[in-house]
Each structure stands twice: as structure tokens, then as C-alpha cells.
Amino acid sequence: MDQPSTGLDSNVKTFCSQNLLVILGFSFILAVIALIAVGLTQNKPLQENVKYGIVLDAGSSHTSLYIYKWSAEKENNTGVVHQIEECKVKGPGISKYGKKIQEIDTYLTECMQRAKYVIPKSQHQETPVYLGATAGMRLLRMESEYLAEQVLAAMAMSLNAYPFNFQGAKIITGQEEGAYGWITINYLLGKFTQKMSWFPLVSTGRNSKETFGALDLGGASTQITFVPQDRSFESPANFLQFRLYGTDYSVYTHSFLCYGKDQALLQKLAKDIQETSNGTLQDPCFHPGFEKKMNISDLYNNPCTKRFEKTLPFNWFKIQGTGNYKQCQQSILGIFNTSYCPYTQCSFNGIFLPPLQGKFGAFSAFYFVMNFLNLTLNKVTSQEIAIDTMEEFCSKPWAELKRTFGGVKEKYLSEYCFSGAYILSLLMHGYHFKEDNWSNIHFMGKIRGSDVGWTLGYMLNLTNMIPAEEPPSTPLSHSTYVFLMVLFSLILVTVLIIGFIAFHKPSYFWKEVV
């Protein structure tokens, strides 16, 4: 019997091996192409599922409504919230309605109708509405708890009539107001979320020392909030503990009731009027030529001015402006008690204040007043410039000022001299900002289109938008995922081709090496 040819067997094996390799390689390439196709077509972001929230800031002088919008899918397990609307309610703060409750029903109509228009009708029932009342209502509660409760009840009844998910109306504490403002600033600046780098094991990192402090000034109160360098237990009541995104924060905060700019002015007037005998007050905090009459009962019918109350021989008094910044500042300092401090360091009125740390965002009236005075620009980094600006501004005659700023309401225009002088006095003598750290104060109106204030932080807290713990891993974005899929697939194809050539024509590589 003839033996099979060994040459023929060898050729058959080579042929089969080559075809098998070609089939496997072709199949692998098809699989990689399919993988890329799936990545491109199937891993697209889901259609945006947005949510809305409404917060009403019921301040001492006015009420503002803010509408926020965010995607239901969280980024880095943290809600990404944007302000899309602001509506200022016409009329004074709600604390002024204590004896005219019946008017509250129409008080919010215009802004709530605006909210119904801005938010899609299909989202109305699931949109939460929060009302937070601040220092004006805290003062009303001091005068009459009954009236304060009546106002809140009337506000709740009015808001319940709208097709939203009303979550309640409450008077927030001064500490809450300060803390929520601090959360708002640092949330908008991205201080809480950990920005993911390209490779999962490398991150940008952050720590509590990088957060901004918050300086808030309203009509009836002012707040200072920041993370001190060293935790101090001299005054535990002034510290709040937060755990946000896996980081612990020991936050100092204090709210000074009666030291908002409106109540501070009333305190100063109540103090200064005692030094007059004829009912005419020569006031350096108002412009030369300015005159105004005030009722004594309106001045003293206030919890903030009770300590200055005194029987006077007249029922009305007249303010005559003299326009002198330095004298105005000296008059303002009279409402701060800096002679007593039971701690290593105080702000004023015996309140503990740790050493200032880091940068601060100053907002609300801090920003509005300083912006009017052109003192919010980045180049304005010295106290000397601020003082020179105030000296020049306060000395301008009232008639000239009205001609220059004809579009500004006279009440606001007449008080900018006092308000600017008060802000400088509060920052320098109350909070102890010096020339060397004055540039750490950043006057802020908006950050990324959202107003800086306590309202956003309030809603973030109530909706649990910021997690306490950091997620175990951060998912890649859609674009990054697709890019990596394409990159690694191309690498696999290249390796396959090289391997195929190396297996089929090894002599080619040996020649290259030689």
C-alpha cells in the first residue's frame, strides 16, 4: 500500500491554518466594529428628565421668588441646579402685613402666575415650593408671636391655592440663613463636587480649607460664615457640623439680628436723636441739602431701637444732611459694642469670632450697595480706595446727586452714603478685615447665572441634592466613554494585525531587526 505524501499533508495543514487564522481575524475585526457601533448608537445620554423647584425669600424689605431647574439624573451623584427665573414681589416684606392679613392673598399673585408660565404644566404638581422668612419675620415674632403665625398661615393658604407641591412656610434661624448662604456660594463655585480627572485613580482633590466664606447683608440682619483654619471650642454654639460629599466641615457662623443696613440706620438715628434738643438732626450720613422728617414713634416702635428709647420733647424730627464720611463712620461705630469680649477674639457685642480664613463672597446688600458705588471691580483691592470713594460720594450735594442718578428711587439714593459707610465699618471694625486681607473679599451678585444668597442652599438641603458621602466611583461622561471605546478598539485591531503578520510572515520582522 502506498504511503500518503508528506508534502501534500504539509500543504493541507498550512492551507487550513491560514484560512482558520483569516476567519478568526475577520471575526475579531467584525466584533470590534460591532462593539464600536454599539458604543456609538446605544450609549447615548437619556432624554433629559428635568425637575423644577421654587423658593420664596421672604426678607425684611421685600420678597423674591426663585425658580430652579435640574436634571433628574445626578452628575457625580450631585444635583446640578441652575436658576432660570427670578421674580421680585411688589410691595414690602411680609412682616409688614401683620395687621393687614387680608392683603396677602393677592401679594404673591403676579410672581406665582409667572411661575405657572415658566414651569411646564405637566411638571406643576411635582414641583416643590418652599417659603423661608428671614430677619424681618424674626423681629415680628419678637414683637408678637401671634401676628407672625398669622402671617405664615396666610402665606401658606395663598401658596396652597396654586397647582404646585407646597412644602411649607417657616421662619429660618439666623444660623440657617448663614449656613445656607455658605452652601450656595461653594456649591456654585464647585467646591463640594470632586472633579474627575481622565484616569479614575487620579482626581483633582479638595479639602475644607479651599471653601469660600460667606458674608450676607440684608435689611434686618447680617451673617458671617466660614471654615476657620483651626477648630475652636471657645463658643460651640457658633459652629455647625456638615458632612458633604465625603468631607467633614466645621463651619463657624453667626447672625447679627438688627444689624442689617435698614435696622442699623434706625439704631443710629435712635442713638443720635437723643443728642438734639430742637428736633433737628445734623446727620453726616446724608448728603448736603438732603432733608427728611420722621415720626419719633416710628423710630422707637421697633425691637432693634428699644435700647435707645427715651422720652423726647418733640414727636417729629428733621434730618438735615451734612455729608461727611469720617463723621458718619464715627456715628455708626456707636452702635457696635467693642469694649467687651469674653473670648480670645470677638467681632462686636461680645460675640466670638475666630481668625478670618481664606476668601469670602460678599452678597445681597453688600453687593448691591458696593456695585452702585463702583467698588466691586477686581481692581478695587484696597481699603484706601474704598474710603476715598466714600468720602467723595458722601460730600456730593443732594441736588447734584438727583440730577446724576435721576432713575434711582430717592429712598435708595439718599441712603447709599450711609449704607456704604456702614458696610466699610462692619467689615473693618466689626469683622476685622484689614488692608492685607481686604482683597480676599469678592463682592458677588451672580455665579454662573444664579443669584448668590441662601435660597439655593436651602433648596439643596431640603431636596438632599448634595450627598453626605462621596460615591465609590464616578461614571465616565458619554463623550469620554465613546472616545475610550474607539481608542482601545483601534489598539486591539492594531495588535491583531501585527500578530497576524508576525504569525504568517515572521521573516519580515527578522529582516527589520537585522
Q: Which residues pair with 68 in a beta bridge?
A: 53, 83
Find the length of the chain.
514
- Position 75, amino acid: E
DSSP β-ladder status, 291-295 and 213-217: unpaired
DSSP β-ladder status, 360-364 and 213-217: parallel
Please report the beta strands in 89-187, taking only residues with DSSP state E, as ranges in sequence order. Answer: 128-133, 165-171
Burial, 259: exposed, middle or buried (Cβ in 10 Å; 0-12, 13-18, 19+)?
A: buried
Q: How far is CA 396 from the centre of its chain?
A: 35
- Asked about 177 being catalytic, the answer comes back as yes
Query: Packing angle between helix 135-143 and helix 145-160, nearest 10 degrees?
Result: 130
Contact 136, 58 (CB under 8 A): yes
- Position 227, amino acid: V
Cell numbers placing 501:
503578520
Active-site position among 73, 177, 384, 435: 177
Contact 367, 452 (CB under 8 A): yes
SS (H, E, C) 433-496: CCCCCHHHEEECCEECCEECCHHHHHHHHHCCCCCCCCCCCCCCCHHHHHHHHHHHHHHHHHHH
Q: Which residue has the cell 420733647?
A: 313
For residue 91, what are the CA distances in angstroms to 63, 107, 175, 294, 503?
Answer: 8, 8, 27, 21, 85
Burial, 493: exposed, middle or buried (Cβ in 10 Å; 0-12, 13-18, 19+)?
A: middle
Cβ contacts of 468 within 8 Å, gap of 6 or more: 243, 244, 245, 246
DSSP β-ladder status, 63-71 and 81-88: antiparallel
E strand or H helix at 417: helix 410-425
Cell numbers placing 13:
495543514
Strand order in 247-257's β-sheet? 239-244, 247-257, 221-226, 213-217, 360-364, 441-443
Contact 78, 467 (CB under 8 A): yes
Burial, 244: exposed, middle or buried (Cβ in 10 Å; 0-12, 13-18, 19+)?
A: buried
Q: What is the dihedral of CA 103, 106, 110, 111, to 10 degrees?
A: 70
DSSP 406: T
> What positions carry a catalytic annotation?
177
